[in-house]
Structure 1
Amino acid sequence: MNYFTKILLLCFSLSAHSTEPSKLSDLRLLQWKNRIILVNNLHNQHKVLALFDKNKSEIKERDIIWFVLTGDEAHTNYQGALSDDFIAKTRASYQLESGKIMLIGKDGGLKFLLDGMDLEAIFTEIDAMPMRQNEMVH
C-alpha cells in the first residue's frame, strides 16, 4: 500500500467516524440548555418513570432532562446515547447517594435535594428561579 493510499484511507476513516453522534459522558455538556433531575436507586422507580411520563409537557416546558439511575442502568428522556461510564461518572461527580433525587440548574449548580420524589415541589422550585421567571415572560 503506497503512502497516498494510506493517507486517503486515514482521511476516509476519520470522516466516517466524525459523523457518528457523540455519547453523553458528562452532564456539564447540558449546561445552559437544560435543567437536570437525577434519581438514584429509588425502590419505586416504576412510579417515578410513570410520573415523568404523565408530566411530559410540563417537563419539556421547563427544559428538564431526567435520569433515573438503578444499579448500572439508566432510564432517561435524553434523546442521545449515553457513554459506557456515564452512570459511574455522574454518581461520582455529584456524590449522589442512594435514594436521593437531585435538581441541577441550567447553570450546573445543585438547586434542590430530596429524599423522595415530589415533582410538584421540583416544579415549584424551578418556577421560582430567576432564569425560569424570565423564560415564562418571553
Structure 2
Amino acid sequence: MSFIFSILRKRTVLTLMLLLITLTTHGADMKRLSDYQWQNRLILVQASDENAGEIEMLRSARAGVDDRDVVWFVSTGSEVVSNQQSLSISLESDIKTLLEGGRSDERVLLIGKDGGIKSREARLDLDAIFRRIDAMPMRMREMRVD
C-alpha cells in the first residue's frame, strides 16, 4: 500500500510542477501582437510625451482592464510600457509599426480579441473604450457567463 502511495505522491508532485511551469511561462510566449488574438483585447497608445499621463491612467484602471481581458501598450517614443511583464523586441516593433502607420490624429487604437481594429481615437478616454468593449457581442457573452 505504501508503494502505491509513493507513486501517487510522485505523480502529483510532478503534475503540480508542470502546472506551475506552464502558468509562469504563459505570458512569456507572447512575442508578436498576433499572439494575443482570441485571448486579449489590446489598447495601443502613442503618448505625446513620456509624462502625458496615459500610463498612470491605465495603471489606475487595473480592475476595469483586468475584467475586460485588456493588455495595454504605451509607446513613449523611447520605450514601450505595458501591463505585461516583459516585451520582446519583435512585439515592440509590431506596436510601433502599427501606431506609426496611422494618421497623426489616431494616437489610440483598440483591438478586439478577433484581432480587428475596433476604434481609432485622438486621445485616451478609458470610459469610452470600456463602453465600446462592453457593447461587443463577445464581451456581452463573457459578462453573462461571469
Output the TM-score relative to the length of structure 1. 0.75
How far apart in 2 are the matches of 1:77 and 1:38?
A: 11
Work out whether 1:28 is the aligned partner of 2:66. Answer: no
Query: What percentage of residue pairs aligned between the two structures are identical?
Result: 37
Equivalent residue, structure 1, for 2:5: none
Residues in 1 aligned to 2:102 and 2:79: alpha-carbon distance in whole angstroms: 15
Aligned to 1:84: 89
Using the alignment, how far apart are the partners of 1:137 and 1:85 within structure 2? 36
Give the distance between the partners of 1:90 and 1:102, measured in 2 at CA. Answer: 10
**Secondary structure of 1:25 counterpart:** coil
Q: Does 1:101 align with 2:131?
A: no
Partner AA of 1:40 in structure 2? Q
Runs of 4+ residues deviating >4 angstroms: 96-99
Number of residue pairs matched? 118
Cross-structure match for 1:41: 47
State which of 121, 128, 131 in structure 1 corresponds to 2:135: 128
- Quick check: 1:126–1:132 contact (8 Å CA) kept in 2? yes
Which of 101, 124, 131 is matched with 1:117 structurally?
124
- Look up the match of 2:11: none
Unaligned 5+ residue runs, structure 2? 1-24
Structure 1 gaps, min length 5: 1-20
| C-alpha separation in 2, matches of 1:130 and 1:102 | 19
C-alpha displacement at 1:83, in angstroms? Answer: 1.5
TM-superposed deviation, 1:96 = 4.3
Distance 1:53 1:65 in 2: 11
TM-score by length of 2: 0.71
> SS of 1:125's equivalent?
helix
| Cα RMSD for the two superposed structures | 2.2
